[in-house]
Structure 1
Amino acid sequence: MNHPHQLTICAVFLALLAFIPGYTQSLQGKVTDSQSGEPLPGVSVVVQSSNQGVSTDAQGNYTLNLAAGTYQIQFSYVGYDAQTRNVTIASTDVTLNVGLVENIQTLSDVVIVGSRSTQVRSSVETVAPVDVISARELQTTGQIEPTQMINLVAPSFNSARQTIADGTDHIDPATLRGLGPDQVLVLVNGKRRHNQALVNVNGTVGRGSVGTDLNTIPTSAIDRIEVLREGAASQYGSDAISGVVNVVLKKDTGTTANLHVGQFYERDGSNAQFGAYHGFKIGKLGVIGAAVDVRFREGTNRAGTYTGPVYVNWNAARGANETEADWLARRQNLYLQDEALIEERGFSRENNMQIGNSAVNNFGGMLNGELQVTPKTQVYFSSILNHRKGQAAGFYRYPFQTTQVIPELYPNGFLPEIHSTIWDLSFLAGVGGEIGNGWRWDVSSVFGGNSFRFDVENSNNASQFARGANAQTEFYAGTIKFNQNTTDVGISKDFGKAIGLTSFNIAAGLSYRLDNYEIEPGEEASYRNYDLNASPLRAGGAQVFPGFQPENAVNESRNVFAGYLDIETDITEKLLLNAAGRYENYSDFGGNLAGKLSARYKFADFLSLRGTLSNGFRAPSIHQRYFSAISTVFVSVAGQGLQPRQQGTFPNGSPVAQAFGIPSLTAEKSINYSLGITSQPVSNLSITLDAYQIDIDDRIVLTGQFARGTSGIGPQVAQILDAAGQTEVNAAVFFTNAVSTRTQGIDVVISNDITMPTGILTLTLAGNINQTKVQGEPKVSETLPADVFGNALFNRQERSRLEWSQPRNKFTFGANYRAGKFGANARITNYGVVKAFDISNPALDETYRPKALTDLSVSYQVTKFLQATLGANNLFNVYPDEIQVRQYPTPGDPTNLDNSSFGRFVYSRAATQFGFNGGYYFVNLSARF
């Protein structure tokens, strides 16, 4: 037994040794993987509170020369949990071997998003449900883009690639809990991420919305992703109605690299991705992380065989004085003429279209760091740069479409292409720390910008028909830009000890944000009609995407001031409360106040009940206020199938919008209710179950078409458009606060880690069940009659897009097994039913049944540096249900008037569960140094 005076003598002796010049001893050892026993090279070994540190060599060995004393030694490595060991150096060398545990985060792990308290809480202890997805878990998905990675592991998150949707082919809409892409807020390192410049104006999920492009973030830069599945407008501001996605960037020492190559079973859609990360230790100040990411994505094509007219338009409407027999006989005669020309000219009906993934090349880079400039002050920063080139196609223009095709250029028609050039840049700088007695403070500013340039190739401006074969085929169609600068000041302090509570954290802050939106017009030939006296009148502008016109040009800004107050306290050991309030004032439409009250009560260590009542809001985006364009869209016309129309999107507040009685935009407002149970009956098993209801009033939509015609509001539409000088526009659409919705659902996450004699098995069951219903009737105009205006403003197709275009449920069961050098990952994902309704004809409605997809991969640690993975996504090559083909109007008639557009669409583009590319196999090589 040691006596106090003996301990004192030893301490004095060690202290004296430290003052003897050159008197040091060696601390040495080996760092290995705790499971496989393999050495880990490049592990950071740092003496805390000093500038001393080394990295392990290729055999995992390290050596430090230390003076006598007691030290804390930290071992950290990318992908592993850091360890800190206490070591006493005396008169002899010391050996310290360490086995690091692989960092295996699951959906049930929870970190900081959703709370400003310094208290550390797990998923079963928080007041809000949060999924945490580690970089390793993202990598096991076999995907190369963040949206698709998250889609496979977070059940409440949904993202499916779109096709034949103009710019939306190049940016994936992403949603939470079945709501819109603009109703989820994206943060990077806890700071607001800027939106994309693109407005989704075509017939896709999130039509009329402005989302955030997660694919601009390098996958090699991501440390983890936190998904807060709860309305949080009172904490983080506008857009957070359905929840928050927080991307946390890496800032560890060490080096990682990843190479992925893969291809779909159909032998197209090849993918290649290379990503690398390295963390630089900056003396004793901290670490700066740098990452690069390069992705090459080939397009896919699942188009069917075209059965419609090519050279002669036999798909003619019945004449007013024509009998049905004469009409069918005329159509049959024209059909035979067309078939003869097709055979004579060798036209192929196969794969006229490019229906599937767009082709995209993506290049990105990241810097992220935090430096301890004083003992209580940190400077932090991050920057992301992304450049993307994309190519997608529109509808094929056939020779019979004489108002759209110049025959001297394209005697057999043409498939026009949209080429995108996307730039995305962000830079965050901040400083924070602690002053006084526990007062924490933070000041930061983040700038972000996104631009989308449209170029059209393999096309024509049909009004240049007089130029024949010399007419233009390539066009610059314009650029849209969005820039945002957000400055935040925050301060917080935990008064818990002062008032006798475990915690009583108060946080408050101010924010100023500046938004800027620009539209730059395209070149003249991309939008102009050069012969308005031609008969018939030919379409002006570039086919597939007419360019932005000078009258569409805009450069508008707005500012937003905000202030918030957030209180979180452990009232007792069992009761946790959180209250938050936020006021935001927009220079273009006014202010809004949001509040939130949450509670969690712990009945026992293994069982808690949590719930939240909050109101939220989403301000109309500046894009929705000022976007305008003339575009070619294809709509279903009774008796004629899909027909092209020149559609004008007119900005809110414009004379045209006012003439149609469209009111000024205001904020969407929500009431969120949630109630959940969390349980951890044993240490390695966690269960969370959360039910929710989200009521949204004044939801902003892009209206249906107000089309010219001879019935209903058609004559009034023509009169308004002609009076406004829009003589070439066939139909008008607008952004307006039109509808209210109610979304109800349940989230469940069950995770279990099982230690086996040969390894570790992690089982996860995660699911989301939700439904969105439109409440009441859409708001109508005071200018046009309600009985017909309401259907034009918000038709049954738009209703189905909100209610049925995303899966009503999604469940994932995953099993991950690790044993020494071997690993295996299996995942089964079930996607619920989706539906697509026709604008006016219920007979053309489609229902697509639930489908289950299986993903499987196996990995092997080839060397101490390199791991190889072989896998397949959608292992059994499952496709969604095909579109039903219906004969119209009588059997034997050569038309197939249905949602397949004369057989070109085998699968629906209006409602997507998981895409329609089929099975995909890949090889992945991961290295750590």
Structure 2
Amino acid sequence: MKKTFPINVIKHVAAQLLLAIFLVVTGSAEPGHNQNVLDREVTLNIKEKKLEYVLNKIEDQTKVTFVFSPKLIQSNRLVTISKSKEKLSAVLNELANDLHLEYEVAGDKVILKRQISDKNGVEVDNSVPEISPIPITGKITNLKGEPLSGVSVLVRNKGGGTSTNANGVFTINAEDGDVLVISIIGFKTQEITIGGQHELTIRLEDAVAELTTVVVGSRSLRPRTNVESPVPVDVINSKDLLATGQIEPAQQIQFTAPSFVSNRQTIADGTDHIDPASLRGLGPDQVLVLVNGKRRYNTALVNINGTVGKGSVGTDLNSIPGSSIERIEVLRDGAASQYGSDAIAGVINVVLKKKTGTQVFAHAGQQYAGDGANLQFGFNQGFKLGKKGGVLNLTGEVRHRQPTNRAGDYLGTVYNSNATQDEILIAQNGGWDRKNNMYIGNSKQLNAYGEANLELPISNKTKFYAMGMYSYRKGKAAGFYRYPKQTTQVVAQLYPRGFLPYIESEINDRSVMAGIKGKMASAWNWDVSTTYGGNQFRFDVTNSNNASMGTSTPTSFYCGKLGFQQSTTNVDFSKDFGSNLKLASFNVAIGAEMRIDMFKITPGQEESWKNYDPNSGKAGGAQVYPGYQPANAVDENRSVVSTYVDVESDITEKLLVNVAGRFEHYSDFGNALAGKLALRYKILDALSIRGAISNGFRAPSIHQYFFNNTSTQFQLINGTLSPSNTLTVRNSDPIAKALGIPDLKEETSVNYSLGITAKPSRNTSLTIDAYHIDIKNRILLAGPFRRTPAGTSIVDQVLNNAGFGTDVQVVQAFSNFVDTKTQGVDIIFSVSPQLGKGNLDLTLAANFNETKIKKVKGTDKIPAVPDSVGNYFFFDRAEQSRIELANPKNKVSLSANYQLKKFGFMARATRFGKVTSWNADPRLDETYDAKVVTDASVSYNILPQVRVTIGANNIFDVYPDKLKWFQIGNGDKTNIYYSNTSDGRFQYSRNATQFGMNGGYYYISLSANF
């Protein structure tokens, strides 16, 4: 008969083995030393608390460390013990006898094990009665006794959590011995151990000395809410981001921050894969992005096609996994003096999660039209490190987005420019699908992310912190269809019916950051950190050809890579001298930054760019996106050194003053200096006025210095979009200089803001902020400089002299040739009334803005002289409208969120203002009216830790206005019909966007917290 061993014996042997390994690693102490440990005195007066709680108390008094398996010793058992200055040995013996435990001493460590059998060899019954959770109720206030709503209440190391309602009240199930973690931004986190009490009153202290809290707009250690700060700051928590029903961070911010706009582009080369975003109607490169308060690198991509933000180099917010975000802070004010270049419109700071526990996110949905399916899975896990508050938070996320297609019926000719003959050829070739020969909409994307955020106390006043992030994204987007009639572009033997070429992207983002921060004995806070990160964008073209190669052409091409890397080192110091000066606060912050920017262009394979038969008239290179040539190769870097000082003080109880200044030196163009003065004055306790004046700057990006390529861009000529080979040259290129384009220099700005803030009650707030921003020497793509039919213009001469034949029709280069003025107002009103037994949050958020071109600067070769309808030779009306009219001039959102026990209801209506697209021919100008997009969802806690949400974005399936056909001509002449639709292929504008062109979207999502 085969002998079996009881499971308890197996566990006992395993525990002994683990103990042996532990003793080998740590080394056991000598018996005499063990005896000293057991002689240490313990005083306890505990009634019905968990064993783990008792052991923690003993550890605090004796400085020993208990080593055990909570499950093996059943540490959730309730213990009652009373001792006064008793030796540790006696206490341990009593616990061991009562709870059937064994213990061994190794140095300052006590190893606890489960007793398998008594002295007579009889197996011990260690079963423990089930402990039922009990409801705990409480009220949370600030030190003034004012209730705090939205405070997070969690049971540490367990599932389950809640938050306070408008009256500061919460209810949660917990057991005796459980630890409640109470937290909210701006206040110190508290931990409370449950020990028989069922009702709690908790008062939270302001987080005045919290080194871990990062709030943009102020380096003061004194926390300030959005109504107390001298400049407007929106704080959007992860709960609000998830409530949008969006899964990409840029789209989440679009529907929560009134002055932020981000829309997906289509038929725009690389910009199909990275969404340009703007703040207060300015460019994507005029807003600075931070992660955990440290500068985030720009993307490698330069937006050179006909989209919003043309000529800009922005920061890709969608390269950050949404599951890792704790909150997003949006500073809506010029801040170049505080944070450096790019912060003309403001700053977006992404704060990553730094909490323990497990969070899981899942999302599935698709468009009403049946395409555009999205799948997301995110996982966030936080680990407690040590006993001093260390934490490691890890995130993994995968997102898959299917493409959408909103193309119209193609009405043009296919095989022949003669319509009658073309119909005969179509019939002979089996017909033609006029609906599906273009893909206009979202690109296809597969995204995978990993992120780690670490904070580890080294001592009571010093912390080490680090962050690492990686994302891999694979995308696929279509270009314009190449028809058989386009004989210079199509190899008919390979594609007798033409072809739809695809641009496939491979985008890699990597970043690491590490630093140490602490506090000196002299009360100076210090922070030293270094950050390294970058973006690489690889282009591949598939289902295409190089027409100059004939039938020997490949159909897939590697077209090269763009790369941008950035290394930033910061040293920061701050101290509050308020008590020395008998002021509530007088915070002084000083610091320095060293940054290195690196930009690289790697050429593609030869077949992707070369014209093998230039005399044939056939186009060379891969159709849709010719590869980067060896002549385009770039491997450049520059260095930036800066220093700043920032002083903020509560001069009186009513007056707050902030003064900041920053100096930066660039190795490639020189110096920049910026300053700021901001004030806030309390008229009443509940009413304040605030204002700021600052000058700012934005240095030309290294991309704008060195980017160059040849691309196929479609220009509207006589009402028809026609392909034009467009040459983008460096600012320093002889072609740019022959056109009179001067060397690049920094953009400079002057920002003015004035606002009021009101908080008439604890759950009601109002902020109204007006702003005016003047920008000089704005950097844009000067052009398109086009060849003329006669071939006699300066552009023709310059291109011919440079050796470019007629295969290049257009040239463009970066230049500081525009001055602009932007002004507007932001309004945010929120109220959280108690409604029945539930809590209602209402928010009205609005932005109104207008940007005007004040001046267009010509070159010494091509003066800025507009024609009769406003077209400059190098800056036509279409390019002007991209700056002034392509983004909505206003956005108004009204949202309601109601929570009732396990149920949640959300409804949000967002009105996007009208947009306009001008044309070089004013008769083709179009304006698209304002639209209201409505979102709604219902959520339910199927378990205390698990919440399911069913909802729809754009629930009424609203689309932008469709493009129009125009009739041009007189009654006595043949009427000519022109259209911005490109022969019917475009139903909606791709030049001016409000909220996209995909229609309604329904989804189901799941979130769980453990």
The question of a shared fold, defined as TM-score above 0.5 by the shorter chain, is answered with: yes
Give the drift of 1:219: 0.6
Look up the SS of the partner of 1:336 in the other structure: helix
Structure 1 residues 606 and 43: CA distance shift in structure 2, 3 A: closer
Task: Confirm or deny that 1:386 pairs with 2:471.
Answer: yes
Written as runs of structure 1 = structure 2, the 5 A alignment for 1:34-433 is 43=154, 45=156, 55=158, 61-62=174-175, 64=177, 75=181, 84=190, 94-95=196-197, 112-285=215-388, 286-313=390-417, 334-345=418-429, 346-433=431-518
Q: Give the Cα–Cα distance (whole angstroms) in 1 for the partners of residues 652 and 495 of structure 2.
A: 77
Native 8 Å contact 2:186 2:223 kept in 1: no
Deviations 1:340-363 (A, max 9, x none): 212222122112110000000000
Give the drift of 1:33: 8.8
Native 8 Å contact 2:466 2:512 kept in 1: yes
Native 8 Å contact 1:78 1:255 kept in 2: no
Native 8 Å contact 2:183 2:189 kept in 1: no
Task: Confirm or deny that 1:756 pairs with 2:835.
Answer: yes
Deviations 1:206-257 (A, max 9, x none): 0000000000100100000000000000000000000000000001011110
Look up the SS of the partner of 2:883 in the other structure: helix
What are structure 1's unaligned runs of at least 5 residues? 1-8, 46-53, 66-72, 102-109, 314-333
Give the drift of 1:17: 3.2
Written as runs of structure 1 = structure 2, the 5 A alignment for 1:518-597 is 518-534=600-616, 537-597=617-677
Native 8 Å contact 2:226 2:233 kept in 1: yes
Q: Give the Cα–Cα distance (whole angstroms) in 1 for the partners of residues 513 and 843 of structure 2.
A: 35
Native 8 Å contact 1:190 1:248 kept in 2: yes
Q: In percent, how many aligned pairs have the same letter?
A: 51
Native 8 Å contact 1:685 1:751 kept in 2: yes
Matched letter for residue 170 of structure 1 = H
Structure 1 residues 247 and 85: CA distance shift in structure 2, 3 A: closer
Structure 1 residues 134 and 504: CA distance shift in structure 2, 3 A: same
Matched letter for residue 720 of structure 1 = V
Q: What's 2:145 paired with?
A: none
Q: What's 1:602 paired with?
A: 682
Q: Give the Cα–Cα distance (whole angstroms) in 1 for the partners of residues 706 and 830 of structure 2.
A: 46
The CA RMSD over aligned residues, in Å, is 2.9
Structure 1 residues 375 and 156: CA distance shift in structure 2, 3 A: same
Q: Of 512, 536, 542, which aligns to 1:457?
A: 542
Give the drift of 1:726: 2.1
Structure 1 residues 57 and 214: CA distance shift in structure 2, 3 A: closer
Give the drift of 1:783: 2.0
Look up the SS of the partner of 1:338 in the other structure: helix
Matched letter for residue 181 of structure 2 = F
Look up the SS of the partner of 2:555 in the other structure: coil
Q: Give the Cα–Cα distance (whole angstroms) in 1 for the partners of residues 952 and 186 of structure 2.
A: 26
Give the drift of 1:120: 1.2
Give the drift of 1:703: 1.9
Q: Give the Cα–Cα distance (whole angstroms) in 1 for the partners of residues 291 and 334 of structure 2.
A: 18
Deviations 1:113-163 (A, max 9, x none): 110001011111110101111111111111110000110111100001000
Native 8 Å contact 1:837 1:844 kept in 2: yes
Task: Confirm or deny that 1:731 pairs with 2:810.
Answer: yes
Q: Of 912, 915, 933, which aligns to 1:853?
A: 933
Native 8 Å contact 1:183 1:618 kept in 2: yes
Native 8 Å contact 1:432 1:441 kept in 2: yes
Which of these two proteins has the greater Rg computed from alpha carbons?
2
Q: Give the Cα–Cα distance (whole angstroms) in 2 for the partners of residues 670 and 342 of structure 1.
A: 57
Look up the SS of the partner of 1:215 in the other structure: helix
Q: Give the Cα–Cα distance (whole angstroms) in 2 for the partners of residues 876 and 697 of structure 1.
A: 43
Q: What's 1:781 paired with?
A: 859
Task: Confirm or deny that 1:838 pairs with 2:893.
Answer: no
Structure 1 residues 34 and 725: CA distance shift in structure 2, 3 A: farther
Q: What's 1:507 paired with?
A: 589
Q: Of 471, 474, 484, which aligns to 2:556?
A: 474
Give the drift of 1:714: 5.0
Structure 1 residues 614 and 33: CA distance shift in structure 2, 3 A: farther
Give the drift of 1:20: 4.5
Matched letter for residue 367 of structure 1 = A
Q: Structure 1: which 4+ aligned runs deviate by more than 6 Å? A: 31-36, 56-59, 77-82, 96-101, 890-895
Matched letter for residue 180 of structure 1 = G
Written as runs of structure 1 = structure 2, the 5 A alignment for 1:554-703 is 554-638=634-718, 641-703=720-782
Written as runs of structure 1 = structure 2, the 5 A alignment for 1:7-22 is 17=84, 20-21=87-88
Q: Give the Cα–Cα distance (whole angstroms) in 1 for the partners of residues 539 and 951 of structure 2.
A: 36
Native 8 Å contact 1:32 1:100 kept in 2: no
Give the drift of 1:83: 5.8
Native 8 Å contact 2:181 2:192 kept in 1: no
Q: Which stretch shows the higher mean deviation, 791-800 or 506-515?
A: 791-800
Structure 1 residues 246 and 85: CA distance shift in structure 2, 3 A: closer
Q: Give the Cα–Cα distance (whole angstroms) in 2 for the partners of residues 175 and 704 of structure 1.
A: 22
Matched letter for residue 820 of structure 1 = K
Matched letter for residue 339 of structure 1 = E
Structure 1 residues 55 and 853: CA distance shift in structure 2, 3 A: closer
Q: What's 2:575 paired with?
A: 493
Q: Give the Cα–Cα distance (whole angstroms) in 1 for the partners of residues 461 and 647 of structure 2.
A: 24
Give the drift of 1:710: 3.6
Native 8 Å contact 1:670 1:697 kept in 2: yes
Give the drift of 1:483: 0.0
Structure 1 residues 348 and 32: CA distance shift in structure 2, 3 A: farther
Q: Give the Cα–Cα distance (whole angstroms) in 2 for the partners of residues 867 and 347 of structure 1.
A: 49
Native 8 Å contact 1:29 1:96 kept in 2: no
Q: Give the Cα–Cα distance (whole angstroms) in 2 for the partners of residues 550 and 568 of structure 1.
A: 52
Structure 1 residues 254 and 218: CA distance shift in structure 2, 3 A: same
Written as runs of structure 1 = structure 2, the 5 A alignment for 1:863-902 is 863-888=943-968, 896-902=977-983
Q: What's 1:316 paired with?
A: none
Deviations 1:253-302 (A, max 9, x none): 11110110001000000000000101011121411100011000000000
Deviations 1:85-110 (A, max 9, x none): 5679xxxx755677999xxxxxxxx9
Number of equivalenced pairs: 861
Deviations 1:654-696 (A, max 9, x none): 1111111111100000000000000001111000000000000
Native 8 Å contact 1:306 1:350 kept in 2: yes
Q: What's 1:51 paired with?
A: none
TM-score normalised by L of structure 2: 0.82
Structure 1 residues 590 and 863: CA distance shift in structure 2, 3 A: same
> 1 or 2 for the larger relative contact order (CA 8 Å, sep ≥6)?
1
Q: What's 1:49 paired with?
A: none
Look up the SS of the partner of 2:940 in the other structure: strand
Look up the SS of the partner of 2:783 in the other structure: coil
Q: Give the Cα–Cα distance (whole angstroms) in 2 for the partners of residues 248 and 74 of structure 1.
A: 24
Q: What's 2:54 paired with?
A: none
Task: Confirm or deny that 1:921 pairs with 2:1002.
Answer: yes
Structure 1 residues 250 and 366: CA distance shift in structure 2, 3 A: same
Q: What's 1:328 paired with?
A: none
Look up the SS of the partner of 2:795 in the other structure: helix
Native 8 Å contact 2:304 2:310 kept in 1: yes
Q: Give the Cα–Cα distance (whole angstroms) in 1 for the partners of residues 252 and 160 of structure 2.
A: 33
Matched letter for residue 900 of structure 1 = T
Q: Give the Cα–Cα distance (whole angstroms) in 1 for the partners of residues 631 and 949 of structure 2.
A: 54
